[in-house]
Amino acid sequence: MNEIISGNTEEQKTDGSDQSQEKMIQEGKAAAILGYIPFMCFVPLTRMRDNPFALKHGKQGLILFVLEILAIIFLFPRISQLFWGMILILCLVSAAAGIIYSTQGKDWKIPFVGELGDRLKL
């Protein structure tokens, strides 16, 4: 008889967690939808931080928003040229610094690039 009671309790626990997850999704749906509308992605990121469903969609919406802004910026040739010119200069300066540090026998990690290099699995 104890087995039957404990079996029902386990089913109730999973039903409870499923119900709480469904409730979380229902509460976060509107904010998750707003997350994909430009400029509105900040709503789930600020107002629904305690809702993992809305927060995840808000983060994805933010990344899309940044990409959309970059795409708009690169529609203008002068701005695009300036941006890539600055990137090229930064790369050349970083390469020169890397050469100097390596000739001195020092270990140097380029900001941002070094972290990405550490993640590469070769």
Share of the chain above pLDDT 70, in %: 86
3-state secondary structure at position 112: coil
pTM over 0.85? The answer is no
Sign of torsion, CA 7 12 49 33?
positive
Which pLDDT tens digit goes with each residue over 14-28? 566 788 888 888 888
Which pLDDT tens digit goes with each residue over 45-60? 899 889 988 888 889 9
